[in-house]
Chain A
Amino acid sequence: MPAARISSLKGERTMENMTVSEAAHARSVYQTKKQSGIVHRLRRDLYKNRIIYFMALPVIAYYIIFQYIPMYGASIAFKDFSPMKGIWGSTWVGMQHFTEFFNDVYFGRILTNTLLISIYNIIFGFPAPIILALLLNEVRKNDVFKRFVQSVTYLPHFISVLVLCGLIVDFTARNGIINDLLAFMGLERITMLLEPGLFRTIYVSSNIWQEVGWGSIIYLAALAGIDQDLYEAATIDGAGRFKQMLHVTLPGIMPTIIILFILRMGSMMNVGFDKIFLLYNPVTYETSDVISTYVYRKGILEANYSFSAAVGLFNSVINFVLLVATNKISKKVNETSLW
């Protein structure tokens, strides 16, 4: 059953999952194969699925109006933007901003830091909400406790970055809690935010702290959609908790996990500005200075709209390439992908 189910997700028609009427239909199509060109297939499809296309209209309209029409604005990355001239009227400078960006003394470092922080975030931060959701799922009988934990763990998501960073600074301070713990264990006190080697750890850990609860919500919803009969069948087959988790739960939420992973790879370059800005320090620049913070400091010296647009475009291109690549790999390895 699983194979057919998965293949049906992708819209593939195989003998196993066609119904009788559809098989008959397929045969008749094959027989009237004279008009098999793309345009004719399209026309037929538009007719056959006319209700679907009709339902799609508001959605398509939205994207065209609010996303594609303004897209010409992306061109300011290639122009010398002057507010008065507007986007159309500004002078074309081609790759000038990009060249300036790539030739910057610190380009290599900020790119590396951005990527490393992002990768660490993915390695540690991506599985965390999944694990949390699975653990919550394993809490049997104690529903109140489960709901309590669920309701509490997502709270930090709502606390503003400012407050959260204030707390982090407090905790990691020389006379803060973490150092108290270190001292208790006989280790030396260190001001953690002044240690380049610790920056990524602090950043990623605090990210997990803030987002693990909120991130688990999607997985909990996905878990809610797993057919309970499968668990019954597994129990009858003699599978214990762990086997059930491996063979029922995980596969059940795997499409969600994969899709979210693909999307996550598509945000590789998006290392948020606010948090780094509040936690970093010239002493830790070598590991903490990322693209967004460097460009910000540059922007203070010269308010250059076009330059930041160019950097943004650079980030987007890399993100998009990563997404497409991950999507392709995912398609080959299993059947779940965006398209």
Chain B
Amino acid sequence: MNLKRSKAEAIFGFFNICFLLFLALITLYPFLYVTMASLSNPSSLASHSGLLLWPLGFNVDGYISVFKNPNIITGYTNTLIYVVVGTSINVIITSLGAYVLSRKGVMLRDSIMMMIVFTMFFSGGLIPNYLLVKSLGMFDTMWALILPGAISTYNLIIMRTSFAAIPDSLEESARIDGANDLTILFRIVLSLSQAVIAVMILFYAVAHWNSWFSAMIYLRDRGAYPLQLFLREILINSSTDSMITGSGGSDKEAVSEIIKYCTIVIATLPIIAVYPFLQKYFTKGVLVGAVKG
């Protein structure tokens, strides 16, 4: 029986790996396409159709052009600041909220939960928020990009679910030892929740990294624009002239296609690079078992 099972398991294991490999390859393709396109020759790319697995005529002009644009450096710096400050605030305040909402014996808990979830569905829309931000004096400052989105209710719910799954016994034994809620939160709950905190950091950081809309409506000072806003400008400009001087006779549209792909790579590479660092927190069982007892 054991032999039969382990043979079945081995076959399953083999097909599993094949399937996952296949999945990895097809999900890799879009990014591969974008990267290869960004390194290709403009006119070759324009007349190409079908799969793109390697650059058509290796060409880094697109990247050179983009990096020559002084806005890119400004954009990167600003975005980095917004991501770090924003994500920190996000994680702190979301953890507070998740902790509070995961405690038992708190009378108002369910009502607060309902009121919070309600806001996921009903909101005032752009204009009241805009007026609010203005009246709070946050217009044209970093805070307009960070505070209105300080908590994502979706993330809050996920974190709460995770906090609630921590065994009560730990909390109780801590209380007996005289700990109050703050201690419990910091010493116990957070240290056991590294996986979900890693997820929160990832989600919030990515959201900040990709955001451009708030910046567009709330920022006037171009020196404070995040990267994505500059990239959008570049893409919308049908002739990104400041970057392609000297290409007099060639097809501006094809060149701007290449630049589009370069900007996508430039914009997503850093955030993709973050993930492997957070990955180690998803390794199973490393932490829960260690703290048990």
Contact = CB atoms under 8 A, between A and B. Distances in A.
A176 B50 contact: yes
B223 interface: no
Contacts, number: 268
A155 B284 contact: no
Contacts of B9: 240-241
A53 B124 CA distance: 27
Interface string B4-28: 0100010011001101110110111
Contacts of B154: 263
A339 B101 CA distance: 10
Chain B, interface residues (CB within 8 Å), range: 35 or more
A13 B161 CA distance: 19
Which of A41, A213, A240, A266 has most chain B Cβ within 10 Å?
Answer: A240
Given A227-B292, A338-B113, A132 B23 contact: yes
Contacts of A213: 27
B103 A49 contact: yes
A170 B50 contact: yes
B180 interface: yes
Interface stretch (B74-82, B92-100, B248-256): B92-100
A52 B181 contact: yes
Nearest to B196: A221
Contacts of B17: 139, 142, 145
B24 A153 contact: yes
Contact of B268 (A45, A158, A212, A256): A158
Q: Is the interface of A mostly helix, strand, loop or mixed?
A: helix
B100 A52 contact: yes
A56 B168 CA distance: 20
A296 interface: no
Given A63-B115, A71-B123, A73-B125, A135 B285 contact: no
B121 A320 contact: yes
B106 to A, nearest CB: 5
B102 to A, nearest CB: 9
B104 to A, nearest CB: 3
Contacts of A225: 162, 165, 192-193, 195-196, 288
Interface string A202-229: 0000000100110001101111111111
B84 interface: no
B199 A164 contact: no
B275 interface: yes
Interface of B: 5, 9, 12-13, 16-17, 19-21, 23-24, 26-31, 33-34, 49-51, 93, 96-97, 99-100, 103-110, 112-129, 131-132, 147-148, 150-151, 154, 157-158, 161-162, 164-165, 167-168, 172, 176, 180-182, 185, 192-193, 195-196, 198-199, 202, 206, 261, 264, 268, 271-272, 275-276, 279, 281-289, 292
22 contacts: A11-B104, A13-B105, A45-B105, A53-B108, A56-B112, A62-B151, A73-B129, A136-B20, A151-B279, A159-B31, A164-B30, A170-B49, A176-B50, A221-B195, A224-B195, A224-B281, A225-B196, A227-B288, A241-B12, A255-B165, A256-B158, A313-B122
Given A45-B106, A73-B123, A139-B20, 8 more contacts: A49-B181, A59-B100, A67-B123, A69-B128, A212-B27, A227-B289, A229-B289, A313-B122
Q: Considering the complex of A and B, which 7 residue pairs feature the smallest CB-CB distances, nearest first?
A: A73-B124, A11-B104, A70-B128, A70-B124, A73-B128, A228-B285, A59-B97
Interface of A: 5, 8-11, 13, 17, 19, 21, 41-42, 45, 48-49, 51-53, 55-56, 58-60, 62-63, 65-74, 76, 87, 132, 135-140, 142, 145, 147-156, 158-160, 163-164, 167, 170, 173, 175-177, 209, 212-213, 217-218, 220-229, 240-241, 255-256, 259-260, 263, 266, 309, 312-313, 316-317, 319-320, 323, 336, 338-339
